[in-house]
Amino acid sequence: MKYDVVIIGAGPGGIFSAWELMKKAPDLKIAVFESGNPLEKRKCPIDGEKVTSCIRCPSCAIMNGFGGAGAFSDGKYNITNDFGGTLYEYIGRAKALELMHYVDDINMAHGGRGTKMYSTAGSEFKKVCIQNKLKLLNASVRHLGTDINYIVLGNLYNEMKDHMDFYFRTPVDHIRKTENGYEIICGDQVTECDKCIVSVGRSGSKWMEKICQEMDIPTHSNRVDLGVRVELPAVVFQHITDRLYEGKIVYTTEKFEDSVRTFCMNPNGIVVNENTNGIVTVNGHSFEDAAKKTENTNFALLVSKHFSEPFHDSNGYGESIARLSNMLGGGVIVQRFGDLERGRRSTPARIERGSVRPTLNATPGDLSLVLPKRILDGIIEMIYALDKIAPGTANFDTLLYGVEVKFYNMEVVLNSRLENEKYPGMFIIGDGSGVTHSLSHASASGVYVADLIVEEHA
C-alpha cells in the first residue's frame, strides 16, 4: 500500500491534521492508523454495578480510539499560550493562538454552536486572587462538555471517512525511513508513504520513546505533575465557575516555594479513573446536558516536580507513586480533607458520614502513605489559600482522590516545523511530542503541520 500521508493516532492532533489535509489538498491519498476503536465502539466497561472499577483493558476505551484521550474528555478547549503546552515556542505566539481559534471555528461548525466561551480577561476575580497570594492565568475557554464533544467528533468523522482510509485496531509497531519517504509497519503489513504525521498522545508515550530510540531521535524529559483531585459541593466554587467555567489558579508555597496549580475544573462534574500504561490514576469531567450534572465540582491540585541531572525518568517517578496508591487501594484512594489533617485514614463509614457524596467509587484510605511530604504539604497549603477565595474548600468533608498524575511525554527534539532535523517529512505533534498537553494545542499542532504539507504540495 502506498499513501501520500499516513497519520498515526486519531486523537485531536491526528484528526485535525486529517481534516485540514482533506479540505485543502483533497487529492492527497491519506491513511489514518489508530490502535483503538472507532468512536461508536469505544465503551469503558465500568458501569457502576457489575464493573465498579478499572479492569485494565488491553486498549483503554477512555484513552484510545477515534477522538483519542479527548473523546470522553470535558471538551474544554483553552485558547491560550499560558498553559496547555509550549507550541508557541516552535511556531510563535500569534500563530499558535490563530490556529486555536481556527480549531474552535471548526468545532463550532460541527455541532459546537451554542456552547459557551468563557474568558478571564478583565475579571475582577484576578484582583481577589492577587490579594490572596494566588495568580489567575489568562485564557479563553470553550466548554463543549463531554456530550457535545462526542457529537463534534462524530460529525468530523462522518465528513472524513469517505475521503481517506481509517485503519482501527491497527497499532503501528515501527517507522522506517526509506529513500523517498517512510514505511509504516504494523505486524507484517508494510505501508509506504511520502510523509507521516505521528500523533500518538500520552497513551503512546512509551511507544514514542521506543521509536525515538530506534530512529536515534534525541529527547529530553524532566517534569511530572503530582497531586490529588479535589471534590466538593459545587456551590463552593460557583461564583468562580459561573463566570470563568474554569479558574486556572497558581499558588507558590511558603514552605518550599513550589508551584501548585488548579487543573481541569469540572463544575457539577464527575471524578473518573484513568488508566495509563496499566496504572490507575484519577481524572474528571462534566457534561453540558443539565440532566447529567451532579451536585459536586471537582478539580486537580498539582505540584510540578522538575528534576535535574543525572535523573532522567520523571515519568517513572510519577508512576512509582501512582503504583503505590494502586498497591494500597487496589486503584484510586479517597480521603476526606479532615481525616488527612487529623493524620488518620478515611474509612467507608467516615466517607458515608461526610456531607460530600463521592462521584467515583474509590477505596477510602490515607493519602499521606502515598504522596511525598513535600507534595502533600504544598497541596494542604493551597487548599487553605483557596479557602480564602472560595470559603468551604478546606472543609472537613472535602474529598481528595489520589493520585492524579500528569505525565509529560519526553520532549522530542524538533525544529519549528515540528520535524526532527534528521527526518524531514516526519512530523511529530500533539501530546506524544511533549510539545502539547491539551486539546486545543494538540489540535492546533495538527492543523499547523497539515498546512506545511499542503504548501509543499501546491
Ligand X SMILES: Cc1cc2nc3c(=O)[nH]c(=O)nc-3n(C[C@H](O)[C@H](O)[C@H](O)COP(=O)(O)OP(=O)(O)OC[C@H]3O[C@@H](n4cnc5c(N)ncnc54)[C@H](O)[C@@H]3O)c2cc1C
Instruction: For residue 145, state whether it binds ligand X (rule: CB under 6 A).
Output: no
Least distance (Å) between residue 361 CB and ligand X: 16
Does residue number 14 form part of the binding site for ligand X (CB under 6 A)?
yes
Which CB contacts under 8 angstroms, 24+ apart, belong to 354-357? Answer: 354/396, 354/397, 354/399, 355/233, 355/395, 355/397, 356/231, 356/232, 356/233, 356/296, 356/397, 356/398, 356/399, 357/295, 357/296
C-beta of 198: minimal distance to ligand X in Å?
9
Least distance in angstroms from the C-beta of 70 to ligand X = 3
Closest CB to ligand X among 266 and 395?
A: 266
Among 100, 264, 300, 403, binds ligand X (CB under 6 A): 264
Closer to ligand X by CB, 299 or 337: give it.
299
- Residue 30 C-beta: closest distance to ligand X, Å: 15
Binders of ligand X in range 182-221 (CB under 6 A)? 199-204, 207
CB of 369 to ligand X, least distance (A): 25
Binder to ligand X among 5, 7, 19, 34 (CB under 6 A)? 34
Nearer to ligand X, 28 or 270 (CB): 270
- In whole angstroms, the minimum distance from the beta carbon of 449 to ligand X comes to 12
Q: Is 76 in the site for ligand X (CB under 6 A)?
A: yes
- The stretch among 152-160, 188-196, 340-348, 430-438 that binds ligand X (CB under 6 A) is 430-438
386 binds ligand X (CB under 6 A): no
Binding region for ligand X (CB under 6 A) out of 33-41, 48-56, 362-370, 417-425: 33-41
Minimum Å distance from CB 284 to ligand X?
A: 7
Q: Residue numbers of the site for ligand X (CB under 6 A)?
A: 8-14, 33-36, 62, 64-65, 68-70, 73-76, 78, 84, 171-172, 199-204, 207, 264, 272, 274, 283, 285, 430-432, 437-440, 442
